[in-house]
Chains A and B, each alone.
Chain A
Amino acid sequence: MGVATYIKDGEDIKEVILESGIPIKPIYGPEDIKDFDYREDLNDPGEYPFTRGIHKFMYRKTPYTMRQYSGFGTPKETNERFQFLISQGQTGLNVAFDLPTQMGLDSDDPLAEYDVGRVGMAVDSLRDFEEAFKDIPLDRIGSGLTINAVASIMLAMYQVVGEKFGYSPDVISATPQNDILKEMVGRGMWIFPVEPSIRLIGDTIEYSAQYLPRTNPVSICGYHIRESGATPAQEIAYAFEIAKTYIEHVLERGLKIDDFIHRFSFNLDIYGNFFEQISKFRAARKMWAKLIKDNYGAKNPRSLWFRMLAGGGGGGLTKEQPEVNIVRSAYYAMISALSGTQTMALCSYDEAYTIPTPRAALISLRTMQLLLEEVGIRDTVDPLAGSYYVEWLTKALEKKIGEEMKRVQEAGGMAHAVEIGYVQREVAKQAYLFEKALQEKTKIKIGVNKYVMEEEKHQVELHEYNDDVANQQIKKLEELKRVRNTRTVMQKLKNLEAAAKEKRNVMPYLIDCIKEYTTVGEMTKVFKDVFGEFKEPSIF
């Protein structure tokens, strides 16, 4: 089991056990990889099982996309931020939504009090998307939408706003997070019970396969599971079991694996032990290709690509000696680059105590650019291949990940394991062990439990609650409700309700609702009435 004991004093040399529970020798050599077969275990980049990377030339040809999480307050402010980031060379957007929007609540809902526009932008209706995406070249710039429980609504809205600005569904590229099982394990932004939540995801996958060819309808987030406490091996294992749940649901609808799987992507974390993370990504890429080929019989080579955003690393950053985070993040970025990621995003060095300042966000962007354009990280693909240690560790992680996957299967599969709280319990236990190890100093964190200095305390700053944002949103809503055609809205909501009840794909009905400026809260209410709400299992 992945214990958090990191360094123990042995007799002569220190014993090292990685977070995933793998003991590490001080020296590796040819005997450690004597069963290693180049073609079978690695093969060339772009060739099955893709351990070295999904493309032949990787960054030598196409650099990773750089994406920073942004979106504050009003859609208009968000739009200004987008314009700035694009002007600085950012090639993809990552949209943050406020908590009420993530929970499907309109800005005027009593439960939304104090949270409107606080950690992201408030979206109540199509009007907000019209402001947020104004003058953004939606055919060139893809958008990550950090939303899950109501991802179907936001994806539908993205299509509608695209069409409104002259971009047809086949040229726009959205990547909604849309991974509800990980919300139930880690991030907590769930609304509906497990079964209908999975069905909504199925609807977006099915719809995208037909109408949104450049959209990635699901981004499986091991990231938040890891940030909640899981070990690197568990992060991948749980992500895979979640992916399998969605895949099997969609296959039951009669789709073929090759119809949709090439649009799945992964969002994974980069903090922690340097080589453990790199090996984790290499093992994951190989295991995914085998899983999709062997378990699901995919024929198209593209179906076997493990496409990922390896980034963030927030869990590794500290509010103590925060400048050190710039260095930490640079190493995390290097992990990501050496792991062959498609997209990179970095947490800003000041994120542990404040809202990232534009300067801090810019340093993150420059870090990613520096790796690509200054120190030669893009010159050759998978430069660590053939290292005794990295190849041995990649195999060791493959084994660990497999064991963790088996545990979930023994608990009844991911959907059931989440319903009964098995995964939540495992993750909470790891988080506790990790925290204990920090406090007992068996795990070292620079500036936190070692090399601690008297320093000027950074005042913790939070997203200040600004009444103006809420008032503005509420005023916009009131005005909207006066001018839109209420009768048509009611009719469209009725159609949506019927579709949800009869288990038809809800996407076209959501699009109809959105075109009439139906609010996010109104559509969510329909789903709540039909589906009910998730009840959190007790894990203590």
Chain B
Amino acid sequence: MEKRIRILIAKPGLDGHDRGAKVVALALRDAGMEVIYTGLHQTVDQIVNAALQEDVDVIGLSILSGTHIPICQKLIKEMGEKGISEKMVVVGGVIPEGDIQKLHGMGIKGVFPNGTAFDTMIKFLKESIKE
């Protein structure tokens, strides 16, 4: 039987636009994944702790405010400190194309700018977790 993927959808920072995060959470749940949503205004520290506590396979960040680079840098660093670097991180939101390579370089596995089809995301997660 296929493993049920556990994913933490997180909204780091002050930005309150959570339509995308909620829509993706519902789409992933409909695709059979277990979704945990952190709610708004989370610090990186809170997100790493939630990932640890909930023992998720994937951390999915939703960032629309343009702060994706520093937030992802911080997250990767703290994940290393807490010993959960093996967990996969994906990012969605308003991400300029020029930043996608930068994020991959940092160790962010999947980058999904707004408008990405649900199917693309779901396929990516299912295939990556199987590996």
Q: Do A and B come from one complex?
A: yes
Contact B43 A462 (CB under 8 A): no
- Determine whether A188 belongs to the interface, using a CB cutoff of 8 Å to chain B: yes
Decide if A439 is an interface residue (CB 8 Å cutoff). Answer: yes
Q: Which residues of the partner chain A approach B67 to less than 8 Å between Cβ atoms?
A: 114-115, 465
Cβ A435 vs Cβ B23 within 8 A = yes
Q: How far is the CA of A524 from the CA of B120 in the complex (A)?
A: 43
* Contacting residues, chain A, for B1 (C-beta < 8 A): none
The total of chain A residues at the interface (CB under 8 A) is 42
Chain A positions within 8 Å of B14 at CB level: 99-100, 102-103, 105, 111-112, 115
Q: Which of B1-34 contact A (CB under 8 A)?
A: 13-19, 22-23, 25-27, 29
B70 at the interface (CB under 8 A from A): yes
The reply to whether B16 and A189 form a contact with Cβ atoms under 8 Å apart is yes
Asked if A229 and B95 make an inter-chain contact with CB atoms under 8 angstroms apart, the answer reads no
B113 touches A540 (CB 8 A): no
Contact B113 A539 (CB under 8 A): no
Residue A118 at the chain B interface, CB threshold 8 Å? yes
Q: How large is the interface on B (under 10, 10 to 19, 20 to 34, 35 or more residues)?
A: 20 to 34
Q: Which of B23, B35, B41 contacts A432 (CB 8 A)?
A: B23
Number of A-B contacts (CB under 8 A): 93
- Of the candidates B23, B35, B113, B118, which one forms a contact with A460 in the assembled complex, judged by CB atoms under 8 Å apart? B113
A461's partner among B19, B23, B96 (CB-CB below 8 A) is B96
Question: Chain A contact residues: over half helix, strand or loop, or mixed?
Answer: loop
Q: Are A460 and B26 in contact (CB under 8 A)?
A: no
Which residues in chain A, 140-190, are within 8 Å of chain B measured between CB atoms?
Answer: 183, 186-190
Least Cβ–Cβ distance between A103 and chain B, in angstroms: 5
A118 proximity list for chain B (CB < 8 A): 65-66
Rounded to whole angstroms, the CA-CA distance of A103 and B65 in the bound complex is: 15
Q: A residues 409-430 with Cβ under 8 Å of B?
A: 428-429
Question: Which residues does chain A contribute within 8 Å of B56, judged by CB atoms?
Answer: none
Q: Tell me if A187 and B16 are in contact (CB < 8 A).
A: yes
Which residues from chain A contact B39 at a C-beta distance below 8 Å? Answer: 536, 538
- Chain A positions near chain B (C-beta within 8 angstroms): 99-100, 102-103, 105, 111-115, 118-119, 183, 186-190, 227-229, 319, 428-429, 431-432, 435-436, 439, 448, 457, 459-465, 536, 538-540
A-B contact pairs, 22 of them (CB 8 A): A99-B13, A114-B13, A114-B67, A114-B71, A115-B14, A115-B65, A118-B66, A119-B65, A183-B16, A186-B19, A229-B23, A428-B19, A428-B23, A428-B26, A435-B118, A439-B117, A462-B96, A536-B40, A538-B37, A538-B39, A540-B25, A540-B35
- Chain B interface residues toward A at CB < 8 A: 13-19, 22-23, 25-27, 29, 35, 37, 39-41, 43, 65-67, 70-71, 94-98, 113, 115, 117-119
